Structure 1
Amino acid sequence: MDVTTIFAGVVLLLAIVLLISVIKIVPQGREYTVERFGKYTKTLSPGIGFLTPFVERVGRRMNMMEQVLDVPTQEVITKDNAMVKVDAIVFIQVMNASAGAYRVENLPYAITQLCMTNLRTVVGSMELDEVLFQRDSINTRLLTVIDAATEPWGVKVNRIEIKDLTPPVDITNAMARQMKAEREKRAIITEAEGEKQSAIARAEGAKQAAILQAEGRKEAAFRDAEAREREAQAEAKATAMVSEAIARGDVNAINYFIAQKYVEAFAELARSPQQRTVIVPAEMGALVGTIAGIGEMVGLAKNQSSGTAPTPPVRPAPPRRPAGGAVPPSA
Structure 2
Amino acid sequence: MSFDFGTILALGVALFVIITLFKTARIVPQRSNFVVERLGKYSRTLDSGFHILVPFLDKVAYQHTLKEEVIDVERQACVTKDNIQVGINGVMYIQVIDAHKASYGINNYRYAASQLAQTTMRSVIGQTDLDKTFEERSKINEEVVRALDEAAAPWGIKVLRYEISDIELPGSIKDALEQQMRAERERRAAIAKSEGERQSMINVSEGHKQEVINMSQAEKQKQINEAEGRAKEIELIASATAEGLQKIALAIKEEGGHEAMNLRIAEQYVKEFGNLAKTNNTMIIPAELSSVGGAVAGLTEMLKTKNIK
Same fold (TM over 0.5): yes
1: CA distance, partners of 2:158 / 2:23: 32
C-alpha distance in 2, partners of 1:261/1:83?
A: 116
Residue of structure 1 in register with 2:233 after alignment? 231
The answer (yes or no) to whether the contact 1:143–1:157 under 8 Å persists in 2 is yes
Runs of 4+ in 1 over 6 A off after TM superposition: 255-262
**Rounded Cα–Cα distance in structure 2 between residues aligned with 1:68 and 1:238:** 109
Per the alignment, residue 7 of structure 1 pairs with 9
Is 1:184 aligned to residue 149 of structure 2?
A: no
Alignment correspondent of 1:137: 139
Give the CA deviation at 1:108. Answer: 1.1
Query: Which residue does 1:117 correspond to in 2?
Result: 119
Question: Do 1:242 and 1:254's aligned partners in 2 also have CA atoms closer than 8 Å?
Answer: no
Partner residue of 1:21?
Answer: 23
Q: Matched residues in 1 for 2:267 and 2:240: separation?
A: 11
The code of the aligned residue for 1:217 comes to: E
Query: Cα–Cα, structure 1 residues 79 and 20, in superposed 2: closer, same or farther, change >3 Å?
Result: same
- Of all paired residues, the percent bearing the same amino acid is 37
Partner of 1:126, secondary structure, is coil
Compared with structure 1, are the counterparts of its residues 119 and 261 closer, same or farther at alpha carbon in structure 2 (3 Å cutoff)?
A: farther
CA distance in 2, matches of 1:239, 1:30: 121
| 1:255-310 superposed Cα distances (whole Å, 9 cap, x missing partner) | 79889999xxxxxxxxxxxxxxx966599xxxxxxxxxxxxxxxxxxxxxxxxxxx
What TM-score do the two structures reach when normalised by structure 2?
A: 0.78
Letter in 2 for 1:187: A
Alpha-carbon displacement from aligned partner over 1:10-36 (angstroms, at most 9, x marks no partner):
212211111111000111122111011
SS of residue matched to 1:179:
helix
Structure richer in helix, relative to its length: 2
Give secondary structure in 1 for the equivalent of 2:63: strand
What is the TM-score with the length of structure 1 in the denominator?
A: 0.73
Q: Is the 8 A contact 1:32 1:44 kept in 2?
A: yes
Gaps of 5+ in 1: 263-277, 284-310, 314-331
Please report how far the alpha carbon of residue 252 of structure 1 lies from its aligned counterpart in structure 2 after TM superposition: 5.7
Instruction: State the alpha-carbon separation in 1 of the partners of residues 176 and 269 from structure 2.
Output: 99
2:78, 2:12 → 1: CA distance? 64
Give, in whole Å, the separation in 2 of the partners of 1:36 and 1:280.
156
Partner of 2:86: 84
Aligned residue for 1:175, secondary structure, equals helix
Query: C-alpha deviations, 1:76-117, integer Å up to 9, x for none?
Result: 122221111111111000111111111211221111111111
Q: CA RMSD in A?
A: 3.3
Counterpart of 1:127 in structure 2: which amino acid?
D
Q: Alpha carbons of 1:259 and 1:69: their partners in 2 closer, same or farther (altered >3 Å)? A: farther
Contact 1:31/1:63 (<8 A) preserved: yes
Q: What is the letter of the counterpart of residue 186 of structure 2? A: E
Task: State the partner residue of 2:213.
Answer: 211
C-alpha distance in 2 between matches for 1:261 and 1:195: 73
- Structure 2's unaligned 5+ residue stretches are 253-257, 284-305
One-letter amino acid of the counterpart of residue 231, structure 1: E
Alignment of 1:97-112 (within 5 A): 97-112=99-114
The match for 2:201 is 199
> For residues 193 and 251 of structure 1, what CA distance do their matches in structure 2 show?
85
**Matches of residues 1-331 of structure 1 in structure 2 within 5 Å?**
1-237=3-239, 239-240=241-242, 241=244, 245=248, 248=252, 249=258, 250-251=261-262, 312=307
Q: Is the 8 A contact 1:60 1:101 kept in 2?
A: yes
- How many residues are treated as equivalent by the alignment? 274
Match of 1:297 in 2: none
Structure 1 pair 134–203 and aligned structure 2 pair: CA distance change class (3 A): same
Q: Give 1:19's aligned amino acid.
A: L
Query: Could you tell me which amino acid in structure 2 is paired with residue 87 of structure 1?
Result: N
